[in-house]
Structure 1
Amino acid sequence: MPVASVPRSPPRTIDALVRRHAEDAAFYWTQLDAAAMSPRIGLEGIARFQGLLGAHLDGLFVAGEIGQLAAFKALDRWMKPGEAYVAAWLSLRRDDAAALAAVMQLVARQPAVLLRGLIGALACLPADAASRSLRMLSGAPDNEIAQVAALRAAVLRGANGVRSLAHPVSHYLRSSSMHVAAAACRAAPVVPGDETSMLLLQGLLGTPGASAAPVRAEAAIALHAGRRATGGPATAALWQSIASQASVLSSATGWERRQAQRRLNRWVRCFGWMAPHGHGNLPGLFEFLPSRLGLGFALSHGDPAHLPYVVRQMAQPESAAYAGWVWQTLTGLPLPARASPLTREGAVSAALDGDDTLPLPDIAAVNAVHVDAPTGGRILLGQPLTVELADRLLADGTAVELHALASTALYFLQPGHAQARVGFHTLRRTPPSP
């Protein structure tokens, strides 16, 4: 951190208290970030994490420069997204340019790891601070990390967030940086009527080079979200990007593997909404996707014809519990489960995936269940998935039903369905800010 922004050392007791605030705030943000992947964390758990995160952020904010220093030291030591979230949120909330510059220097060392925390901080700021921060970071010349963070956070904040950017989305779609262009693709359909951006997205579908796969994929998803593509070139571009990313995933390790898996998971779920039911190439998709990603596709595609595949994945130790949950989410039927607690070879992986407390399915009993699912369209909880069903679940659904809806239908309700999009953002994205 620049010397001018470093306060005097606080008394030891205060220093310990503030340091604990920084540590716990990072911990609870990390729990919230992981909650979106867990079928078992309901609204009560999310609300509890939100309240604890807000309390610790409040303590750091009241501590002023001392709180900022504690957050920066934690980030400098651990270099994890939770610490990046806390340090960035404080510097942006306090409008401390020197502290923000120091945080950005650390984020630039490991952007693949820390960018998620910076995006989360921008997404959770109060409206006035968010508008100021989005305009500042999106207007930073030759700083692709700042621009990507601003674009991604603007999407999470909706139309007002995108309107707070320093330039129109079309400006970023023309960027020579693949990272900036891909992030801009996500922002393009958020504000209806942006015809210039829609035309640019069509051109980005053909961006050459293996490194441009994210641009092609995000352009395809954006065109579909903007109701400008229901198949053809957009679907083909996303299919090719998924195949390319699956190859990257097969050789990646550590954090790079987690990032590749997160990206591929998003693309596969979006592809589930774009691909027509009954397409002849879909069996090939299941062949090259890892089991868990294949289950994610089956869930978002919502075709009861995939249920035999889902049942087969119950025999895979690393995905058995998740397969049971997908089967239950699609059919709406109680899952025949074993009485024993969850113990399997993939226990560590399962814990990271968030389904370590799910019951293991009894495969023989599942095969004996008669599933009378409607055909000819997408299903959820054994019913045709319609806007009316989604709205009803958002208004009156249980925590389990809400998670099922969020898991399968996050891309279903497009910009016209404000109630559902607000509901999803509240459930999955936005911890409160003091």
Structure 2
Amino acid sequence: MDVRVPAIISQAVDQHAEEAPFLWLLRDGAVVAPHYSLVDLTKLDNRVEAHLDGLRIAGDAGWAACDKQLQYQEPGEVFAAAVLALESGEAAWIRRVYEVVGAAPETQRGLVSAFGWVDRAWWRGEVRDLLVAESPFWRRLGLAAAATQRVDPGPVLLESLQAESPMLRATALRVAGSLGRTDLLPVLQAQLTSDDDAVRFSAAWAATLLGDRGAALRQALAFVEADHPRFAAPALGVALRALPPSEGQQWLGHFARQPQTLRHAVVVCGILGDPVNIPWLLEQMGIPEIARVAGESFTLITGVDLAEEELEGEWPEGFAAGPTENPEDTGVAMDPDEDLPWPEAALVAAWWTRHQAAFRSGQRYLLGRPLAPEHLQWVLGHGMQRQRVAAALERKLLSPGEPLFETRARGNAQQQGLGLPIQGA
């Protein structure tokens, strides 16, 4: 019996070291998913935390299990190991995590997420060291780590905004925007003409959030117009919210007239929130390729839950989205609308006929109510993740000098910040 107990304990610790990264990977997708609420996110976070706690209790054995998982060089494994290392303060453990991130830079988001997970008192010294690192790569991680908990990195932010490294500048630009550093707006605007796409986009995104309604907006819209594979969608989310509604309607018409930007037009309907666009949106629900995102925009305006109100339809026969099982099919892109309900256009139209009198054309709505600070606060607490992202952007545009609400933070911390009771235990 004495021989078997350690083996059983070892298996349990190994399971914690395997499950924590797996659940973090689920969480990494959940923070931008259309079907996760803040309570859902908190429940998932508690599952992650339960496995991390098992590793903490195991002490050195917990670290050894995480260290073994680091051989796979994946972000989730880096996250779990980094949480243990940062909380322990063990220099050798932290150095081991850094070695893996340095060898596999694609794992860096796991490290940044760990900085956002742990109490800032445990990482203050580590972040400070990263912020003064000679390598632009590590300084970038220091900036990103500080921003996860909306901590101003101090003078190093201005230095990084003027750094030679484009990647460092791009990160610094986004951090400045997220923190509400309106005093740095002229520095950000100077980067709008950069030759580097990431720098130019980050400058446009951040400067728009900080109040620029001129050159920054035009640059953001240029990324949308070009249908940039990385930056079109986030540029659209900021620029169309910042434009005057009349100009937003003009852009909607422009996108709708071009087949390659029709999806943008459908998304813009939800962003603008004007019920005047709903009849056109209902028509788009008959096009399989954009039906589900049209349903999402309809919900973003009206607040109706298509599944709860039984307004869902069936998957169209013969329609395929995302990769298939056909070995000759070269398409590998995942279905971007996988987690969205399929609207039954006729049922949705009937619902709109019954309820449209409650909406006024020319008014911007979000989840069925006019945009107002108190409603945005409600959406941040009770909406789904994509809806919460929308509310965070709207609130930031109303108050450029305030930090952008972090919808990716730990669920219980978000609930506390919003003054809500902790739910999801």
**TM-score for the superposition, normalised by structure 2:** 0.79
How many Å apart are 1:168 and its aligned residue?
A: 3.3
Distance 1:297 1:130 in 2: 40
Correspondence for 1:378: 364
Distance 1:171 1:284 in 2: 40
CA contact (8 A) 1:313 1:320 kept: yes
Q: Which runs of 5+ in 1 are unaligned?
A: 1-9, 250-259
- Structure 1's 404 and 177: CA in aligned 2 closer, same or farther, altered over 3 A? closer
Distance 2:267 2:148 in 1: 22
**TM-score for the superposition, normalised by structure 1:** 0.77
Correspondence for 1:182: 170
Q: Is 1:67 aligned to 2:62, yes or no?
A: yes
Distance 2:67 2:129 in 1: 21
Correspondence for 1:298: 269
Correspondence for 2:343: 361
- Structure 1's 334 and 184: CA in aligned 2 closer, same or farther, altered over 3 A? closer
Q: Deviation string for 1:79-104 (max 9, x for gaps)? A: 33222211222222222333333323
* RMSD across aligned positions (CA): 3.5
Instruction: Determine which structure has greater relative contact order: mean sequence separation of CA pairs < 8 Å that are 6+ residues apart, divided by chain length.
Output: 2
| Secondary structure in structure 2 of the residue aligned to 1:28 | helix
How many Å apart are 1:385 and its aligned residue?
A: 0.8
Q: Is 1:141 aligned to 2:140, yes or no?
A: no
Q: Which amino acid aligns with 1:273?
A: R
Equivalent of 2:295, from 324, 327, 342?
324
CA contact (8 A) 1:374 1:384 kept: no
CA contact (8 A) 1:271 1:297 kept: no
- Structure 1's 316 and 339: CA in aligned 2 closer, same or farther, altered over 3 A? closer
Aligned pairs (5 A) from 1:211-360: 212-227=196-211, 229-230=212-213, 232-244=214-226, 246-247=227-228, 249=229, 260=230, 263-279=231-247, 280-285=250-255, 287=258, 294-308=265-279, 310-333=281-304, 335=306, 337-338=311-312, 340=314, 345-346=320-321, 356=338, 358-360=340-342
CA contact (8 A) 1:81 1:117 kept: yes
- Structure 1's 375 and 178: CA in aligned 2 closer, same or farther, altered over 3 A? farther
| Secondary structure in structure 2 of the residue aligned to 1:413 | helix
Distance 1:125 1:98 in 2: 18
How many Å apart are 1:290 and its aligned residue?
A: 6.1
Q: Deviation string for 1:302-329 (max 9, x for gaps)? A: 3435435543442343543332132122
- Structure 1's 146 and 104: CA in aligned 2 closer, same or farther, altered over 3 A? same
For the pair shown, the structure with the greater C-alpha radius of gyration is 2
Aligned pairs (5 A) from 1:69-218: 69-77=64-72, 79-111=73-105, 113-142=106-135, 144-158=136-150, 161-163=151-153, 167-191=155-179, 195=183, 197-207=184-194, 209=195, 212-218=196-202
Q: Which amino acid aligns with 2:140?
A: V
- Structure 1's 179 and 311: CA in aligned 2 closer, same or farther, altered over 3 A? farther
Q: Which runs of 5+ in 2 are unaligned?
A: 325-332, 414-425
- Structure 1's 342 and 315: CA in aligned 2 closer, same or farther, altered over 3 A? closer
Distance 2:280 2:84 in 1: 47
- Structure 1's 334 and 90: CA in aligned 2 closer, same or farther, altered over 3 A? closer
Taking only the aligned residue pairs, the percentage that are identical comes to: 26
| Secondary structure in structure 1 of the residue aligned to 2:36 | coil
